[in-house]
Structure 1
Amino acid sequence: MCVGVPAKVVEKMEYSAVVDVMGSQTTVGTIFVPEVELGDYVIVHAGQAMSIVDEDYARESVEEWRKLIDARHSETV
């Protein structure tokens, strides 16, 4: 199973973009989504933007990721 996380494009170059993933920024490849624009939301997997998603989907997904992170954190405390 592959897991991708939603990220917002905050800077775009020719074949890559800087994305914000829950407050952390990283550079990802954009070869699979050459039409991506600044401000778009993408699903990131293995260092690549795999698809463009709408903002509502991205926000809902981030909420679920945060729940998982919070649950995991509460188990380790």
Structure 2
Amino acid sequence: MCLGIPGRIVAITDPVNCLAKVDVSGVQRTISVRLLEKDLPEPDEWVLVHVGFAMAKIDEAEALMTLAAVKRLGEAYQDEIEAFDSSAIV
């Protein structure tokens, strides 16, 4: 199962290539924010992350509510966090 998981933007690491460091439940990875190129997120803003891409900006309340809901999925949530932890943009 592939879930869209809320992540908080830590930093825009490469603005030219639209890359940002995001924190998803304590796991930090570089993701592409190119799909949000016309309205790039800034540090401390929340995005919905799916397969290494920020799909949409979301507000903190929605992010926290969504995180609580996906955590209740148990094993599917853990699998998604492990997949995110082992992924990388190179």
TM range (shorter): 0.7 to 0.9
Corresponding residue number in structure 1 for 2:25: 22
TM superposition shift of 1:3: 2.7
Q: 1:45 aligns with which of 33, 39, 50?
A: 50
Structure 1 unaligned residues grouped into runs of 5+: 73-77
In structure 1, C-alpha distance between the alignment counterparts of 2:72 and 2:4, rounded to whole Å: 16
In structure 1, C-alpha distance between the alignment counterparts of 2:64 and 2:57, rounded to whole Å: 13
RMSD, aligned α-carbons = 1.9
TM superposition shift of 1:2: 6.0
Corresponding residue number in structure 2 for 1:75: none
**What TM-score results when the alignment is normalised by the length of structure 2?**
0.71
How many residues were matched structurally?
71
In structure 2, C-alpha distance between the alignment counterparts of 1:51 and 1:65, rounded to whole Å: 17
In structure 2, C-alpha distance between the alignment counterparts of 1:67 and 1:4, rounded to whole Å: 14
TM superposition shift of 1:51: 0.5
Greater RCO between the two (CA within 8 Å, min separation 6)? 2
Structure 2 unaligned residues grouped into runs of 5+: 76-90
TM superposition shift of 1:42: 0.2
Q: Any idea what SS the aligned residue of 1:26 has?
A: strand
In structure 2, C-alpha distance between the alignment counterparts of 1:11 and 1:2, rounded to whole Å: 24
Corresponding residue number in structure 2 for 1:56: 61
Corresponding residue number in structure 2 for 1:10: 10
